[in-house]
Chains A and B, each alone.
Chain A
Amino acid sequence: MNTSMTLLVVAVLAVIGFYLGRKRALVAADGLPARLHSLPSYYGYYVAIWCGLPTLALFAGWLILQPIIVDGLVIGALPAAQQNLPTERLGLLLNDIRNIARGEAASESTPMLLAAARHYNALTGLGHWMLAACALSLAAVGLVVARNRVAPGLRVRNAVERVLMGGLILASLLAILTTIGIVASLLFESLRFFEKVPFWEFLFGIKWSPQTALRADQVGQSGSFGAIPIFAGTAHITLIAMVVAVPVGLFSAIYLSEFANPRLRATIKPIMEVLAGIPTVVYGFFAALTVAPVIRDAGELVGLSVASESALAAGVVMGVMIIPFVSSLSDDVIMAVPQSLREGSYGLGATKAETVRNVIIPAALPGIVGAVLLAVSRAIGETMIVVMAAGLAANLTANPFEAVTTVTVQIVTLLVGDQEFDSAKTLAAFALGLVLFVFTLCLNVIALRFVRKYREKYE
């Protein structure tokens, strides 16, 4: 019996439990719901929870523990020579066994591995049968016990609501768990990377060529992991994007909030926000196949040599993508400037433009700075546009017509395709991811603080 089938049966039992519980409560109350402490359906939920929840917990625990136990037993049954392999080799061996057991391709299949795979399958099957038996009996016991406890005076609503509240709290803790998961996985893999490559060399080295050789005698066998060219490239493209996005976003926000009539505003705003809804891979396609050739041809016309994967193409398209972030966030803060400030300025005889320049912008500045910082963080973390339109070569250059690479591009190229576990190359991606995460997190925290402070000022 496979696990999903077992789960289904448990679910059916829980539903049956619901009806049994409700019926028993009604019978016990002589068909008068008013005699019950709680609504009749709560008695049903009570039985269903007793039937399903402990079983689910058993399931989760079992499914986490079973692979560990099975792995241990399978390794224990291997010949002694294999058991004494170093941990990483043993892991690879186990991987092969699992693949054979699933009927997938493995890197080698010796009789020993085949036997181990059969053993593995037998143990797994046995485990699943035992799980099914335990789960079903637990569910049945829960059902019967809970049903027998149902009585008109039983405060089931309180019990059911406590479980409900527990579920709600667990769901809201998931966000924290996600953060912990991100930080832990990035830190853990990065620490392993920094065992191989010194921290300072990574952060301040100026040569990036992550190709580690397969053979010891290969040329350039030790990759170098100086990330400065990557950081510079990221900054470069982000700067270009901001040069496009900030003026365009800001001026359109000012126009829409101060000059445009409400009808125009109501039409233009959603259309501009479409820009934010277009998938980034579409921008990447646009940058690589439409914008980059145009820029290259234009450059050739005036006698400039432009790389076909120039920083300019990726940066400009990224800027276009970010326009709605800047414009709608600045629009919000401009709209939040109290009307009295505007009217005071008009009363002194200032024109609208003078009011914008001398009153509104200074008043909204913290919010606008926050918006720009959020946009910068968005640009730094953006992946698909640069993967498709920016280069791979880690050039340290300020020329926007040359190819540069970014943190996200490097993460993708290091991790997509065949991976060697534990190689510095793979781990480098996590170190870059850590830098990316920490940097964007700081930007976000600062930006949100700016925005919040500003809001408090006028509320």
Chain B
Amino acid sequence: MGNGQASGARAAVPVSSIARTVESGLRRRHAAELRLKIYGIAAIGFALLALAVLLASVAAKGYTAFQQTYIAVDVHFDREKIDPEGTGKTDDLLRGDYEGLARAAIRGAFLAVKGRRDRRALGKLLSSGAGDKLRRMVVDNPKLVGTRRRVWLLASDEIDMLNKGYAKRNPDGSATKVSRKQVTWYDALAKNGAVERHFNWGFLSSGDSREPEQAGIWGAVVGSALTMIVTLLLAFPLGVAAAIYLQEFAPKNRWTDLIEVNINNLAAVPSIVFGLLGLAVILGFFGLPRSTPLVGGIVLALMTLPTVIIAGRAALMSVPPSIREAAHAIGASPAQVVFHHVLPLAMPGVLTGAIIGMSRALGETAPLLMIGMVAFIVDVPSSFEDAATVLPVQVYIWADSPERGFEEKTAAATLVLLAFLLAMNAVAIFLRKKFERRW
């Protein structure tokens, strides 16, 4: 097209000559067509490959975090260390030196080890939280005091990394962050079948910790849930109300035009700006408490509001005018038309939009950093005004931590986050498929 030959073959030239010219160009033109197709396929291939690599790398890094290394040792539940006065009361039992019990137990497995430094290094095979399990066992069953029992205790992060093959073994017998002697002890334990990997319940049920082997995401999951509740309670009713007004009642004038432009622009404002708004207005001006699900939820609600409004308007718009006219005809007031007839019919669409908005809010991190939800919080939050963190922020905090053990925890937390998002989107798709009506 438009390149030379056609104009050269004007009028006087015989028809066969035109055909020849076209013929000669065809090969080139089809090659160009093929090229464009190949570019297109390559582009799609690149995008899909990127998605696959992203998901695969997270999954490959993260799946190991769902198992944790445990070491079996013979624990002597020494009365002297647990409850020296022999009261047997839960309060006294709680106060026992369980860490000492755990250390004594692992020393018992290597009686030949002498010397303060070596014994301390031996104790380091176990996690600093290994005693917690013993405490729980004793409090649940006080009869254990004074007995001996083989118990699987949480290994330290370094041993866990060695067991999972992340710590590199050096030629001199040591390994990353593990000394030569510790490696020998570990190998001896492993040979006796005293090292095993068990499912990591602690990861799903406990709060954050400085020690990777004890860190869990439950605190962040609860924080996310509380934050999402606030977001939902604010963004959904307000968003739907605004959508109803703008779509059904608003007169077409300068003001409603302004609101509309405004909402479209708000939807494209960078999320971090909402964080600044939260910091300056909600924390600074209204003085609500920092780092709490309440403030996080308000900020995220302001952020998701435009999404909910836009989706809500689209859903209301798709209800045909005949419904409105029929309702008017039987004497419904304008408000009754909308609330009794149009809104119920538009609800699936409205809900789908709200869920998609919520899933975006669930994955959002930046504005929450601004309002201080990045604090290190061990306790699981129990109210909207407790300091809390959320899943994506937990991912960010762990990704920043230098310990190797946190890398797999980060990836695993990401997997959990993605699972939640997947579930929400699946619900949205289900709602759409199930209730969508073609008018």
A residues neighboring B (CB under 8 Å): 67, 157, 161, 164-165, 167-169, 171-176, 178-179, 181-182, 185-186, 188-189, 247-252, 254-256, 259, 268, 271-272, 274-275, 277-286, 288-290, 320, 323-324, 327, 348-354, 356-358, 374, 377-378, 380-384, 387-388, 408, 411-412, 415-416, 429-430, 433, 436-437, 440-441, 444-445, 448
Contacts and interface: CB of A to CB of B under 8 A. Distances in A.
Interface string B331-353: 00111000000000000000000
Contacts of A274: 51
B364 A171 contact: no
B414 interface: yes
Nearest to A244: B46
A445 B265 contact: yes
Nearest to A381: B270
A281 B365 contact: yes
A384 B366 contact: yes
Interface in B265-291: 265-266, 268-274, 276-277, 279-281, 284-285, 287
A327 B334 CA distance: 41
B414 A185 contact: no
B331 to A, nearest CB: 11
Contacts of B280: 185-186, 188-189, 430
Given A168-B245, A169-B245, A288-B399, A259 B44 contact: no
Given A182-B277, A275-B51, A411-B272, A388 B396 contact: yes
Ranked 10 nearest A-B pairs via Cβ: A381-B270, A255-B40, A279-B363, A185-B280, A171-B241, A251-B43, A383-B366, A168-B245, A172-B242, A353-B33
A415 B280 CA distance: 11
B47 A252 contact: yes
A247 B396 CA distance: 30
B57 interface: yes
Given A161-B333, A282-B58, A185 B276 contact: yes
Interface in B132-191: none
Contact of A254 (B40, B54, B271): B40
Residue in A168, A286, A388 with the greatest tally of chain B CB atoms within 10 Å: A168
A429 B276 contact: yes
Interface stretch (B94-102, B225-233, B417-425): B417-425
Contacts of B30: 351
A277 B307 CA distance: 14
B20 to A, nearest CB: 15
Interface string B23-56: 0000001101101110111111011101101100
Given A185-B280, A255-B40, A436-B272, A282 B418 contact: yes
Nearest to B52: A271
Contacts of B266: 175, 178-179
A272 B48 contact: yes
A348 B411 CA distance: 56
Contacts of A440: 268-270
A380 B30 CA distance: 40
Nearest to B34: A353
A275 B363 CA distance: 13
